[in-house]
Chains A and B, each alone.
Chain A
Amino acid sequence: MEGWDPNTKSTLTQIPLLTTKAGPRDGAAWTQRLKEEYKALIAYTQMNKSNDNDWFRISADNPEGTRWTGKCWYVHNLLKYEFDLQFDIPVTYPATAPELELPELDGKTQKMYRGGKICLTVHFKPLWAKNCPRFGIAHALCLGLAPWLAAEIPILVDSGMVKHKDDAASSAES
């Protein structure tokens, strides 16, 4: 964990860790895991709000809690850029991490696999593997998606690949 900035580090230590090692095919154990996922997400969202660092919305798309959708946003040069966020819980969860997708950015950056799956290989997968089963969705957002947005969005905006929605609207009118 050396090399991560102190903010991320202190945030991370405050997200509750999970204990149940169960995937979506494990019946009652998965329900237990899902409860832990919710608790961690609730704690993380609350923490972000109280630190004035709210940056995502995520909720389960089906009652089984295997598909999640929502939004995430990043502020660059005082402008807010918002993107759809979605992912599936893989069958081998939590041995393998969820593959976070930003479908709107598909094809706009090299740091992405097909279908808008962001590249987590270097900065996040090793951490996930080492901390299985204690990390959950909240940790994936905090350590996987947040640093990816911080590294990628400024470049995408500066290179003109991503336009702010106001700019996009005005240029479409003209």
Chain B
Amino acid sequence: MEVELKEMLNDLESLKRSLTDPSHHAPIDQLQLRVERLTSLASSGPVRRSKVKDMSAEVVDSNPYSRLMALQRMGIVENYERIRDFSVAIVGVGGVGSVAAEMLTRCGIGRLLLYDYDKVELANMNRLFFRPEQSGMTKTDAAVQTLSDINPDVVLESYTLNITTVQGFDTFMSSLKDKSFRPNKEGSGVDLVLSCVDNYEARMAVNQACNELNQTWMESGVSEDAVSGHIQLLIPGETACFACAPPLVVASGVDERTLKREGVCAASLPTTMGVVAGLLVQNTLKYLLNFGNVSPYLGYNSLKDFFPTMEMKPNPQCSNFACLERQKEFLLVKPARDAALKAKMEAEASSSVTECPLHLDNEWEISVVDDSEPDRIEAKSADALPEGLVRELPNADEFQKSPTEAADATIDDLEDLRKQLEALNS
């Protein structure tokens, strides 16, 4: 384009010289000026920034990381540049996932893995990140297009697949295990999995994968009415997994005749989605770069601006087998971990002020008991009921053991059964 414009200028110049009548010179001068303006516009067009080898803290306009590296000077983060070692997998590149991906990209994360099977639609434009001209592209391709422009230092991997299908799940698992980015890393190939999906099935699939891989992950969600959301940290065996506390299902006794036309279109707002993505990535940065307190659960109710937090212990009767395995492993390593933590706390405490009793007398022997300490005796005998109480219903474990109906003498061969159904179908 610039070459074309230059040739045009030359042509105009020769035209001017060939004209003998000076009255024609004025409009040609004007044309020349306009072409010059166009040339300067063209040269200021989109420039791709080149890759940066090392993050520098130097404060110059051209340093994309100066404001991030300043976190070190402010005493918030000890070593910000470590962020380039980390891999984060984002499952679901929708209203929350895409924004979270952009935030992490701008933070200079080492590697991002993106999973989604959907396409960008105009109906997505009430949310952030995607642009109208990207509609029709897969969300993963569109995201890679934008993110690689924003920060070419980030290694982007995109997977256009549905993780709830058997095949998709296998690819999902093997991509999480792949350690080629940082071969000496312990455990799986990623540091954190972020679940930004919009349905129960996909959350259960992420939960299954992370429980099996012993992979820490964070779950996020925005309510159907778009005015509340939450984020949750899930450490297999240590905190509740997604299947430990199944969502409260209330069979409302619906009649199929009442099952009419509400539509399944959920509401969404760029604000709520952005807030939840922000909370999610903030927790991610705290977890990865080791600063502040990592929230185990943080809710967001926008109508009342209420932010509840809580902790959830794993369910010893969780229906997920891998979760139970992780719980057993955690109980084994817990005493050593607690002792180390206590020693560290004591070391910190002794270096600070010497403790003295808050009150001189304590007539009623009131004391503060730490209830964050998991009651292990209780966990072991969670099934045991206090004396005098009996269960009305058999518990789930016993149901499993209940005699499977006297082995029916009918056919029990898969192929025969398949043929029988085919016969009925024909």
The answer for the CA separation of A46 and B262 in the assembled complex, in Å, is 34
B263 at the interface (CB under 8 A from A): yes
Query: When the two chains form the complex, which single residue of A46, A66, A90, A130 contacts B205, counting CB atoms closer than 8 Å?
Result: A90
Which residues B242-259 have CB closer than 8 A to chain A?
243, 246, 249-259
The answer for the CA separation of A21 and B84 in the assembled complex, in Å, is 43
| CB proximity of B396 to chain A, nearest CB, Å | 10
Contacts of A108 in B (CB 8 A): none
From B150-158, B328-336, B352-360, B418-426, give the one contacting chain A. B418-426
Contact A95 B319 (CB under 8 A): yes
Contacts of B205 in A (CB 8 A): 90-92
Contact A123 B424 (CB under 8 A): no
Grouping DSSP codes into helix (H, G, I), strand (E, B) and loop, the A interface class, with mixed when no group exceeds half, is: mixed
A105 at the interface (CB under 8 A from B): no
Which residues A41-68 have CB closer than 8 A to chain B?
41-42, 45-46, 49, 57-60, 64, 66
| CB proximity of B260 to chain A, nearest CB, Å | 6
Nearest B residue to A66 via CB reads B166
Nearest B residue to A92 via CB reads B204
| CB proximity of A2 to chain B, nearest CB, Å | 5
B178 at the interface (CB under 8 A from A): no
The answer for the CA separation of A46 and B255 in the assembled complex, in Å, is 25
Contact B166 A64 (CB under 8 A): yes
Query: When the two chains form the complex, which single residue of B169, B204, B250, B414 contacts A38, counting CB atoms closer than 8 Å?
Result: B414
Contacts of A96 in B (CB 8 A): 164, 200-201, 204
A72 at the interface (CB under 8 A from B): no
Query: When the two chains form the complex, which single residue of A41, A90, A123, A125 contacts B249, counting CB atoms closer than 8 Å?
Result: A125
| CB proximity of A147 to chain B, nearest CB, Å | 3
A102 at the interface (CB under 8 A from B): no
Binary CB contact string for chain A from 116 to 159 against chain B (1 if under 8 A, 0 otherwise)? 00010111011101100000000000000011101100010000
A111 at the interface (CB under 8 A from B): yes
Which residues B141-179 have CB closer than 8 A to chain A?
163-166, 169
The answer for the CA separation of A88 and B167 in the assembled complex, in Å, is 10
Nearest B residue to A124 via CB reads B254
Contacts of A89 in B (CB 8 A): 166
B36 at the interface (CB under 8 A from A): no
Known: A46-B424, A151-B259. A123 touches B254 (CB 8 A): yes
Contacts of B243 in A (CB 8 A): 95
Contact B259 A91 (CB under 8 A): no
Binary CB contact string for chain B from 194 to 208 against chain A (1 if under 8 A, 0 otherwise)? 000000110011011
| CB proximity of B374 to chain A, nearest CB, Å | 25
Contact A111 B164 (CB under 8 A): no
Chain A CB within 10 A, most for which of B258, B421, B425: B421
B390 at the interface (CB under 8 A from A): no
Contact A88 B420 (CB under 8 A): no
Query: When the two chains form the complex, which single residue of B201, B249, B264 contacts A110, counting CB atoms closer than 8 Å?
Result: B264
Contacts of A45 in B (CB 8 A): 421, 424-425
B368 at the interface (CB under 8 A from A): no
Contacts of A114 in B (CB 8 A): 118
Q: Count B interface residues, CB 8 Å.
A: 46
Query: When the two chains form the complex, which single residue of B164, B260, B412 contacts A151, counting CB atoms closer than 8 Å?
Result: B260
Contacts of B425 in A (CB 8 A): 45, 57-59, 70
Contact A21 B417 (CB under 8 A): no
| CB proximity of B62 to chain A, nearest CB, Å | 43
Contacts of A91 in B (CB 8 A): 163-166, 169, 205, 208
Nearest B residue to A150 via CB reads B256
B265 at the interface (CB under 8 A from A): yes
Chain B CB within 10 A, most for which of A49, A96, A112, A150: A96
Contact A151 B257 (CB under 8 A): yes
Nearest A residue to B224 via CB reads A121
Which residues A25-40 have CB closer than 8 A to chain B?
25, 31, 34-35, 38-39
The answer for the CA separation of A5 and B410 in the assembled complex, in Å, is 32
Contact B400 A21 (CB under 8 A): yes
The answer for the CA separation of A8 and B417 in the assembled complex, in Å, is 25
Contact B264 A119 (CB under 8 A): yes
A11 at the interface (CB under 8 A from B): no
Contacts of B255 in A (CB 8 A): 3-5
Binary CB contact string for chain B from 368 to 388 against chain A (1 if under 8 A, 0 otherwise)? 000000000000000000000
Contacts of A57 in B (CB 8 A): 425
Known: A31-B414, A110-B265, A122-B254. A90 touches B165 (CB 8 A): yes
A84 at the interface (CB under 8 A from B): no
B362 at the interface (CB under 8 A from A): no
Query: When the two chains form the complex, which single residue of B254, B257, B261, B264 contacts A113, counting CB atoms closer than 8 Å?
Result: B264
The answer for the CA separation of A49 and B420 in the assembled complex, in Å, is 14
| CB proximity of A125 to chain B, nearest CB, Å | 7
B404 at the interface (CB under 8 A from A): yes
Nearest B residue to A38 via CB reads B417
The answer for the CA separation of A121 and B254 in the assembled complex, in Å, is 11
> Besides A59-B421, A114-B118, 7 other CB < 8 A contacts?
A1-B253, A3-B253, A5-B256, A19-B404, A127-B251, A147-B256, A155-B260
A-B interface, 8 closest residue pairs, ranked by CB to CB distance from nearest: A147-B256, A110-B263, A38-B417, A3-B253, A92-B204, A126-B249, A91-B169, A3-B255
Interface residues of B (CB under 8 A from A): 118, 163-166, 169, 200-201, 204-205, 207-208, 243, 246, 249-265, 319-320, 400, 404-405, 410, 412, 414, 417-418, 420-422, 424-425
